[in-house]
Structure 1
Amino acid sequence: MKIPDSALSEILDKLDPVEIIGEYVQLKKVGNRYWGLCPFHHEKTPSFTVSPDKGVFYCFGCHKGGGLFNFIMDIESVSFVEAVNILAEKAGVDIKTENTDKRDTEKKALEELYNRVAGSFHYLLMNSSPAKMFLKYLLDRGINRDTIKKFKLGYAPSDARWLFGFLTKKNYGKDFLKKSGLFFERNNEFLSLFYNRIIFPILNIHGAVVAFGGRTLKENVSKYINSPETLIFHKKDNLFGIYNAIKDIRQKKEFILVEGYMDVLAMHQAGLINTVAPLGTAFTSSQAARLKRYAGRGIIAFDSDSAGTEATVRAINILEKEGIQTSVANFKEAKDPAEILQKVGEIKLKKIEEYTINSFQYLLNRAAIRHNGKTPEGKSEIAKELFPYIAESDSQVRKDGFLKELSDYLDISYNSILFDFTEWQTKSLRTVRYPAKSKKYVKEENLQEGNAIDLHSNELFLIIAVVLNRD
């Protein structure tokens, strides 16, 4: 897509780079520049700068830099054309393209299709007789009509052939619908992937519907299904509720991560607007990296059952690796936010932020329940459960603090904990880097690379001993 230079200039003339970049980064003026913590890498001391007179940004830490279009492309993970459209909307500039790229045209067409289908599903939920039991289900779960409208919830009719027939009557072509992600083919018929289900439209950060989640009320079938990967939808990068949550996340510099669609609805209805959820899959590092752009803190409020607990542990480690400080919500009245809303109401749910513990303490409590902390073996197992979390931190100060806290809890000397942690790290490194190589091969390769330390020898542990006893 060729965008006229005059349009690009008009956008830049109308926008203040400090104001736009300031939506993502907290900036402070020092001299003729604005400084802040870089949104593209984890840091404690500001090295990210914006020069308003030149309209450019630059980070002295990771060396990323460029103009306003580059910033939006990087921070939003979008193409140049998409970045231009985002900024054009903010500037009130009408973009008239000179020619059109086929991929961009197809993406735009898919977004228009999904938005229209979402509108149709929403109308059916609110107005059709077959949808009454689905609407009642939502209302009985404590989800009010305002929340239903806010999230554009819908109803997909029970006839799996209805949607394809409806869209072809609206002049959508068979080939286009075939690769839309809305249908599957069986016996030369195109059947809707979503039928007889409550529909949860999945919006990207700009408010475009890019996918759907669907919930059935039937037993003995998959309760939830989600859209497949398409040109406009990638599960690992998207978060349910992000469009409605992004403003509050940026303002609070904090997000709340819940497990499912209903939990997001419940939290937003209770006034906790900075809440999002993964899309029916495990929380991913890509989702964590996206959240890191907008916030440095997070609260994990996954289900309190065994599966939710395991998911919480994984999310804690992923977020710690991204440099996001996390705490975990402590449920007492129910197993998840949606159930709290249904059983005890919005007021109680809104207090969820007040009942949290930091992630390290959560992991320590969990390990202490699983192992006997009064025996040497139990203490060793507790420590091993905490080591992966400690290792993910990129701050040596935080690592040292965690190790000291673990030492105090287990009533073991700090030097012993540090020794075991270092040994664990060494074994983990060897397993990851050389999973299929023999001991001899590792030695030779290390020497060839100029690495004077043999990971299998006692030399590394001698060095550790010297450090521990240097006083």
Structure 2
Amino acid sequence: MAYQIPEETINRIKNAADILEVVGEYVVLKKAGRAYTGLCPFHAEKTPSFTVSPEKQVYYCFGCQAGGSLFSFLMRLEGLSFGDAVRRVAAKYGIEVPVANMSPEQKARLTENERILAVNEAAMRFFQETLADGVEGARAMSYLVGRGMTRNIIQRHQLGYAPNRWDGLSRHLEKQKVPDDLLRKSGLVVPRKDNRGHYDRFRDRVIFPILNLSQQVIGFGGRVMGDGKPKYLNSPETPVYNKRRCLYAMDKANRAARATGKVYVVEGYFDVLAMHLFGIENSVATLGTALTPEHVQLLKGMVGRAGHAILVFDSDQAGLNAAQRSVEVFEAGYLDARILVLPKGHDPDTFLREKGPDVFLKAADNALAMMPFIIEMAIDTHGLSLEGKIKVVDEMQAPLAAIQDSLARSLYVKQLAERLNIDEAAILDKIRRKAAQHAPIGGRSRSAAADKSTGAATAMVDRGRLEMRIIAMMLHCPAMIPEIVGRNVIDDFEDDQCRSLARMVVRQGDRPADRGLDLPASIDDPEMDSLLARLAIEDNRWDRQGCERLLAQFEDRRRRRLRQDLQRRIESAEKNNDMELLAKLLMQKQQQAGRGLTKL
């Protein structure tokens, strides 16, 4: 739970921040009228349905119905609490979130994520200082220099060294009053088997800090300098670190990837550092895991709809297998990807040092698209004998079935048939049968949560369509809010959620705002948050006459509802033979008819 951030601080952050700038770190946006559009980071799509309105300072996806403020964007994308999201934005714009007036209880309630990030930051500084130590860090520094790392690369990537001690980091952090439970939750220490104390996870290793797009330290990788095992050791999963959702050096590569519309994906830390050393800064690496749908969404956010990824693999069997496994993931994520397999015995580090960046970039320009690559790989593996062709077709069934575009699939089937010199229809029949059985992997289809959100929002639309139109009017024509309040319109809303949302808008509308109506920063219910964003982002034309017609329609419906309700009560009184109540109700009906219910 986050402590209470002063409302004036939240408003100051909102007024200073720009949702285009915040969202633009994750999504390539292009201007479309008064709004901006891009590929949604919350679900896989090939046609942009994600919209950001700088005027209303909201985002909304017309594909998966995710929407809200810049704070809810970070909350949804990175799993942050509201307090964490506010502090993230505050740090970006140099605004201090006050903590001086916090009580001891409030300090104790600082979010776990925030505390872990602070511990990681302190650990990174410790590792850096140890590497810079002329005595304790001398061997590690010599190792890095021997691997061709320059002082600039070491500093820019904030490399460090974990000393060859069981408790080097632990003792350092304990002196800073970091509690044991937080050390364990950060993954920096490992509990002893008898559960009496702990020891440092990273010892006598070169350390690679792993940062997110907001430049926060979320984890670490460590490499031994000799023959120790394992060669590489990464942080375990923690509340702030999920290897399926992050890429090494993505914080450094993001800007260059956007500028070029291209991102290189390599396999290791030193490969990334070598790429950056030779000026190819649009390069990232996976963190000890195969490429996932979440990785594809990250990469797509870097390069945009027209961009592409180049996967750089070693020529060994493991590299080739990794390339083949990647096909379905990229097809499901609608991201164009190409594969560059380096000559035998080379990785990006050795190839760049031996051949230079120009030769590497030329080879990358000639990289094959994923499907032609794995066709050629299958033929190289099995050959073109009768048995070989059968094995090639069997091996190509799943990758071809993963292609959602029927035209693209047909063209690749034709290419395969020509290479094998066999009947295209026979291959196509097998692929179609496989495609019918093929279930989309994670990231391709909308999540159950998204479906639930859509269903709830649709039900709300059906229940309170007129009420929602009034809320939309309040968002687009805030000058009408006093009149809506004066007529007691909101009190007579039939839908409880609409009534709650309208009152929230009224409270926000009472405050002056620099950019149109000051929308609520955060709503506890994400469905309501998304609905408000949708209503705010709709580009409807509102004028005074249209607003008056809508209010007249609502009041007419209200009169009909009251008449119907009164008639039901009269019929009930007659049925129960309650003459006293019946007389009162008939009197009310007569009074209503007399004054026409003009004032309700």
TM-score by length of 1: 0.82
Q: Which shifted more, 104-113 or 254-263?
A: 104-113
Q: Which shifted more, 87-96 or 325-334?
A: 87-96
Q: Report the 3-state secondary structure (helix = DSSP H, G, I; strand = E; otherwise coil) of the residue aligned with 1:294.
A: helix
CA distance in 2, matches of 1:50, 1:281: 33
Partner of 1:268: 276
CA distance in 2, matches of 1:16, 1:182: 35
Q: Which residue identity does 1:137 align to in structure 2?
A: Y
CA distance in 2, matches of 1:309, 1:351: 21
Runs of 5+ in structure 1 lacking a partner?
430-471
**1:174 Cα deviation after fit:** 3.4
Q: Identify which of structures 1 and 2 has the higher relative contact order when contacts are C-alpha pairs closer than 8 Å and 6+ apart.
A: 2
Over aligned residue pairs, what C-alpha RMSD do you find?
A: 2.7
Deviations 1:338-375 (A, max 9, x none): 22244444554455533411111110111001112242
1:420 aligns to 2:422 (yes or no): no
Deviations 1:376-416 (A, max 9, x none): x3223212222222222332232222222222222233322
Partner of 2:514: none
Partner of 2:417: 407
User: Of the candidates 70, 81, 91, which is equivalent to residue 68 of structure 1?
Assistant: 70
Partner of 1:327: 338
Q: Which residue identity does 1:387 align to in structure 2?
A: Q
Q: Which residue identity does 2:374 align to in structure 1?
A: L
Q: Which shifted more, 346-355 or 114-123?
A: 346-355
Q: Which shifted more, 195-204 or 217-226?
A: 217-226
1:84 aligns to 2:95 (yes or no): no
1:369 aligns to 2:375 (yes or no): no
Query: Is this contact kept in 1: 2:206–2:224, CA < 8 A?
Result: yes
What are the equivalent positions in structure 2 for 1:17-32 lying under 5 Å apart?
Answer: 17-23=19-25, 24-30=27-33, 32=34
Percent identity between matched residues is 34
Partner of 1:4: 6
Deviations 1:63-101 (A, max 9, x none): 333333333333445333333233333444333378748
* Distance change >3 Å, CA 427–CA 44, structure 1 → 2: closer
1:163 aligns to 2:169 (yes or no): yes
Partner of 1:458: none
User: Of the candidates 256, 259, 263, which is equivalent to residue 264 of structure 2?
Assistant: 256
Query: Is this contact kept in 1: 2:116–2:240, CA < 8 A?
Result: yes
Partner of 1:131: 137
Query: Is this contact kept in 1: 2:401–2:432, CA < 8 A?
Result: no
Partner of 2:328: 317
Query: Is this contact kept in 1: 2:41–2:297, CA < 8 A?
Result: no
**1:329 Cα deviation after fit:** 1.3
CA distance in 2, matches of 1:10, 1:279: 38
User: Of the candidates 119, 133, 141, which is equivalent to residue 113 of structure 1?
Assistant: 119
Q: Which shifted more, 194-203 or 129-138?
A: 129-138
- Structure showing greater Rg: 2
* Distance change >3 Å, CA 167–CA 7, structure 1 → 2: closer
Partner of 2:160: 154
Q: Which shifted more, 87-96 or 304-313?
A: 87-96
Deviations 1:272-308 (A, max 9, x none): 1121111122222322233233335211012222112
TM-score by length of 2: 0.65
Query: Is this contact kept in 1: 2:212–2:218, CA < 8 A?
Result: yes
What are the equivalent positions in structure 2 for 1:379-398 lying under 5 Å apart?
Answer: 379-398=389-408
Q: Which residue identity does 2:208 align to in structure 1?
A: F
Query: Is this contact kept in 1: 2:119–2:178, CA < 8 A?
Result: no
Query: Is this contact kept in 1: 2:84–2:114, CA < 8 A?
Result: no
* Distance change >3 Å, CA 251–CA 307, structure 1 → 2: same
* Distance change >3 Å, CA 428–CA 110, structure 1 → 2: closer
Query: Is this contact kept in 2: 1:270–1:349, CA < 8 A?
Result: no
Partner of 1:439: none
CA distance in 2, matches of 1:175, 1:33: 46
Q: Which residue identity does 1:312 align to in structure 2?
A: A
CA distance in 1, matches of 2:401, 2:87: 41
Query: Is this contact kept in 2: 1:48–1:61, CA < 8 A?
Result: yes
Q: Which residue identity does 2:280 align to in structure 1?
A: L
Runs of 5+ in structure 2 lacking a partner?
440-600
* Distance change >3 Å, CA 7–CA 251, structure 1 → 2: farther
Q: Which residue identity does 2:97 align to in structure 1?
A: I
CA distance in 1, matches of 2:173, 2:17: 40
Deviations 1:439-463 (A, max 9, x none): xxxxxxxxxxxxxxxxxxxxxxxxx
**1:14 Cα deviation after fit:** 3.1
Partner of 1:223: 231
Partner of 1:294: 302
Query: Is this contact kept in 2: 1:305–1:335, CA < 8 A?
Result: no
**1:419 Cα deviation after fit:** 0.7
Q: Which residue identity does 1:219 align to in structure 2?
A: D
Q: Which residue identity does 1:71 align to in structure 2?
A: F
